[in-house]
Amino acid sequence: YKSRDIERRSLDVDSLKRSFLEWLVYSVGKDARAATRRDWFHTVALAVRDRVVDRWMDTTRSYYHEDAKRVYYLSLEFLIGRLLTNSLSNLGIMDECRQALDRLGLSMDDVVDSEPDAALGNGGLGRLAACFLDSMASQGLPGYGYGIRYEFGLFEQRFENGWQVEHPEQWLQFGNPWEFARPEVLYPVQFYGRVEEFRDSVGERAYRWVDSERVLAMAYDTPVVGYGGDTINTLRLWSARATSDFNFGHFNEGAYMKAVEQKILSENLSRVLYPNDATEIGKELRFKQEYFFTSASLQDILRRYLQHHTSFDNLPNKAAIQLNDTHPAIGIAELMRLLIDQHGLRWEKAWEITQATFAYTNHTLLPEALEAWPVRMVERILPRHMQIIYEINAKFLTRSKAKAAGDNARLSHLSLIDERGDRRVRMGNLAFLGSHKVNGVSALHTELMKETVFADFHAEFPDRITNKTNGITPRRWLKQANPALSELISSRIGEGWISDLGQIAALKEKADDVVFREEFRRAKRKNKKRLAAYIARQTGEEVQIDSIFDVQVKRMHEYKRQLLNVLHTVALYNEMRDNPTVSWVPVTKIFAGKAAPSYHMAKLIIKLINDVAKVVNHDPSVHDNLKVVYLPNYNVTAAEIIIPAADISEQISTAGMEASGTGNMKLALNGALTIGTLDGANVEIREQVGADNIFIFGLTAEEVNDLRANGGFNPREVIASNPALKRALDMIATGAFSPDDRNRYQPILQALTDGGDHFLVTADFADYCRAQDAAMQLYRDSEEWTRKAIINTASMGWFSSDRTVNEYATEIWDVHPVKPTHDG
Ligand code: DL6
């Protein structure tokens, strides 16, 4: 057994190869002749997982022995993508694995491509959580992710006749080799019922929640491999299980079907991820999902804490709980309930502990995404929590400065209950009040939080709001996704940048080195070839490698303004047709991104892009100088192919509306030049790269605000004064791209005209075209372009999620790295 034990940990090519053969036979149950690519993926994943387990246990043990303060990142979404390359790369055995597979006559790419993409999130918020997990583990920080193990991740997007059609995404269909089921880690989560008042042992008024329905939360653990493989943290995802009462309670002839039905209903809690990146207001199942995973996570956190402690006084010194948006904000009432009802603490003590333990990150100012649950629903589903929320509110409002000043308007803004219309619980206010720190995700966003949604809270608690500009992990987004560029970088400045991205600044001086520029271009070209092949496979479209790869990849949303990009595309198409003798720089417009299934306008814009693509791509008069492609099913895996190949990064949201953006950072890190508004983290990207190395256009957040405050503007006038815009809109209106249905795009034209153009597409159009022209002119000078691209890559050090997580660790969580002892 000893030797087998050692073999399982060995990282050399021979041991890997032997492990693969052993796993294939004894765990996957196939022989090499019958094994499919998927079998080989499972085999390799299991063998790699072996190399992780001992270190994982060492890490967990070290945290336990040191009774280290842990940070718990509670997130309804973790957009992790594939894990095989990530694990191999972080363990430093990519080459060894490739060679071992080679000796078995297998291609590493085939094996890697057989892994499903774990899409347990919608977009930026979920991917940020995944980058933070990587950064915490890579820096030895005791960090745990807590979320839901959705059976169905984000839907698969396909196009039928250019329309988005959603299909279920079944990532677990063939099993998940990375996870460990923990059937013994099981917590009851209650719903419904009523609250009973009674007198406790010292005669004080107390409450208990009775007659409730129960669902069990069962843990599945996935190891999170830090860079270098020293620290392996845990992502614990909860799966819903019916209680045995459900299964057997009504076990007689008539009730059998009902019992099974009940089981299915309770297990629906972890069935599917809500496919909207703004909140699903009013959806009862969504609210229950939020409570389900939050309650299970808090019970687990308290259980872990109580292994070392007998009183809760020290909880804030041992646990920091970060709320990723308001989705887990009900946790504030839940911790109060657990401390008071289950552990007998007094209110004031419980509140002090709760506030000191929680911190909250806000990710959006969009009003439709600010969660507010109907009081009647909360009362029905979580009666005890509603009571607690009322009490928190009453105590707070009594003491608030606004009350002292007799300012009723401010008091009503501060209230946890929105009293207008049907009464609602404002989850943002609850999260703010129950946390010691509240952060925004870029400098601009944080300032806007102080001025808008949280202005009144900011006046009450001027020290609570803090900024933590987002970041991205350089391991996945440069080292893994872009081997060509990362090898070039390492060959010049060493490998230090992988764990300390600040070091990449050493590349700045290489921008003036003609040989380096040539090599940088070669790497980009290689990535563009890879993307061109992917585009051909996915869409059947052939694109020119030498064209500008102009990329807009993100969720479909009106505020992100894919519409502005497609209007520019139509204008450019017209210019090319009008001026066939000009030697145009060829452009490939690349779009990708999913729309929420119920977001009709976003789906219509997808259809418009596909319709424009159909016309433009088949028009011989543009001589292939313009191509438009919409890549289906954008996910982390697709992003890893698209982003390294981009020349231009489109970050064109209406200023003031994109909280941060992180795609903007990934693209710039991979040497794309940004065309963007002064929105979200674009502002900080400009500071880092310098105004000469980015194309900024459009209204600022302040100008947008002023414009709207002064009654908006007249889009019809703007359109009338801009012939290119007018022509593009007229073409869309008269069916030039939709001859089968000339009225198809009326809703878009209506929104841009009589609708008042809320997202200021027409207002920013002229300046956007100017920025696009400037970019196209610059691209003609390939040396200058490359110089700026290198400066972009070299200036991204600050956008590492290692920096972001470190700021959280020191300024919010007060957690410190722990070095695991590996004595095996
Ligand atoms: O903070 C991560 C990410 C930001 O980069 C995006 O700008 C922002 O839109 C996104 N927010 C959401 C909103 N979800 N909710 N609630 O996904 O967060």
Would the CB of 596 count as within 6 Å of ligand 1? no
Would the CB of 651 count as within 6 Å of ligand 1? no
Q: Using one digit for the tens of pLDDT, what is the confidence trace for 459-500?
A: 999 999 999 999 999 999 999 999 999 999 999 999 999 999
| Mean pLDDT of the 124-152 span | 98
> Of 70, 327, 385, 555, which residue is the catalytic one?
555
Instruction: List 14's β-bridge partners, or say none.
Output: none
Q: Please give the Cα distance from 636 to 165 (Å, whole number).
A: 19
Does residue 603 have an active-site annotation?
no
Question: What distances in angstroms separate CA 46 from CA 174, 220, 678, one per listed residue?
Answer: 14, 16, 46
Q: Which two tokens stand for residue 593?
A: 């991104």
Question: 3-class DSSP state for residue 344?
Answer: coil
Q: Are 802 and 500 in contact (CB under 8 A)?
A: yes
The DSSP code for 796 is -
Q: Please give the Cα distance from 220 to 237 (Å, whole number).
A: 5
Q: Please give the Cα distance from 118 to 594 (Å, whole number).
A: 16
Atom number, ligand 1, closest to the C-alpha of residue 661: 5
Q: Are 431 and 326 in contact (CB under 8 A)?
A: yes
Give the confidence band of 401 by pLDDT, cuts at 50, 70, 90.
confident
The DSSP code for 272 is B
Give the confidence band of 248 by pLDDT, cuts at 50, 70, 90.
low
> Of 318, 327, 517, 560, which residue is the catalytic one?
560
Contacts of 715 (CB under 8 A, 6+ apart): 752, 753, 756, 757, 762, 763
Atom number, ligand 1, closest to the C-alpha of residue 124: 3
**Angle at alpha carbon of residue 804, lines to 353 and 121, rounded to 5°:** 85
Instruction: List 591's β-bridge partners, or say none.
Output: 552, 630
Which protein residue's CA is at the shortest distance from atom 6 of ligand 1?
661
Full set of structural domains in the chain with CATH? 67-82+117-468 (3.40.50.2000), 542-803 (3.40.50.2000)
Q: Please give the Cα distance from 86 to 175 (Å, whole number).
A: 19
Is it the case that residue 1 has pLDDT exceeding 50?
A: no
Question: 3-class DSSP state for residue 451?
Answer: helix
| 345, 348, 353, 359 alpha-carbon torsion, rounded to 10° | 140
Probe residue for ligand 1, chosen from 283, 441, 664, 799 as the CB with the greatest number of ligand atoms within 8 Å: 441
Probe residue for ligand 1, chosen from 74, 125, 322, 361 as the CB with the greatest number of ligand atoms within 8 Å: 125
Range in 50-64, 337-351, 395-409, 761-775 the model is least confident about: 395-409
Q: Of the candidates 402, 421, 404, which has an alpha carbon nearest to the alpha carbon of residue 412? A: 402
Label residue 206 left, alpha or beta by phi (over 0 means left) and psi (-120 to 50 means alpha): beta
Q: Which amino acid is at 265?
A: L
Q: Are 153 and 169 in contact (CB under 8 A)?
A: yes
Q: Of the candidates 12, 223, 35, 16, which has an alpha carbon nearest to the alpha carbon of residue 114? A: 35
| Ligand 1 centroid from CA 660, angstroms | 7
> Of 70, 263, 363, 788, which residue is the catalytic one?
363
Q: Using one digit for the tens of pLDDT, what is the confidence trace for 308-358?
A: 999 999 999 999 999 999 999 999 999 999 999 999 999 999 999 999 999
Does residue 554 have an active-site annotation?
yes
Q: Find how far residue 151's CA is from the centre of its chain.
A: 18
3-state per-residue secondary structure call for 568-629 = HHHHHHHHHHHCCCCCCCCEEEEEECCCCCCCHHHHHHHHHHHHHHHHHHCCHHHCCCEEEE
Per-residue pLDDT at 740: 98
Probe residue for ligand 1, chosen from 283, 326, 363, 373 as the CB with the greatest number of ligand atoms within 8 Å: 363
Quote the percentage of the chain above a pLDDT of 90: 92
Q: Using one digit for the tens of pLDDT, what is the confidence trace for 412-469?
A: 999 999 999 999 999 999 999 999 999 999 999 999 999 999 999 999 999 999 999 9
Would the CB of 318 count as within 6 Å of ligand 1? no
Q: Of the candidates 602, 507, 591, 614, which has an alpha carbon nearest to the alpha carbon of residue 556? A: 602
Q: Please give the Cα distance from 321 to 98 (Å, whole number).
A: 39
Probe residue for ligand 1, chosen from 560, 660, 665, 667 as the CB with the greatest number of ligand atoms within 8 Å: 660
Would the CB of 662 count as within 6 Å of ligand 1? yes
Range in 6-15, 436-445, 734-743 the model is least confident about: 6-15
Would the CB of 658 count as within 6 Å of ligand 1? yes
3-state per-residue secondary structure call for 713-782 = CCHHHHHHCCHHHHHHHHHHHCCCCCCCCCCCCHHHHHHHCCCCCCCCHHHHHHHHHHHHHHHHHHHHCH
Contacts of 712 (CB under 8 A, 6+ apart): 756, 757
Would the CB of 370 count as within 6 Å of ligand 1? no
Q: Are 683 and 658 in contact (CB under 8 A)?
A: no
**Residue 703 exposed, middle or buried by CB count within 10 Å (0-12, 13-18, 19+):** middle
Q: What is the ipTM of this complex?
A: 0.98
Phi, psi of 605 (to 5 degrees): -70, -35
Does residue 308 have an active-site annotation?
no
Instruction: Give me the count of residues in the chain.
Output: 824
Q: Using one digit for the tens of pLDDT, what is the confidence trace for 629-654?
A: 999 999 999 999 999 999 999 999 99
Quote the percentage of the chain above a pLDDT of 70: 98
Would the CB of 428 count as within 6 Å of ligand 1? no
Q: Using one digit for the tens of pLDDT, what is the confidence trace for 29-82?
A: 999 999 999 999 999 999 999 999 999 999 999 999 999 999 999 999 999 999
Q: Please give the Cα distance from 790 to 669 (Å, whole number).
A: 9
Q: Are 552 and 514 in contact (CB under 8 A)?
A: no
Tokens 């909360």 correspond to 378
| Mean pLDDT of the 99-120 span | 97
Does residue 17 have an active-site annotation?
no
Is it the case that residue 369 has pLDDT exceeding 90?
A: no
Which protein residue's CA is at the shortest distance from atom 18 of ligand 1?
125
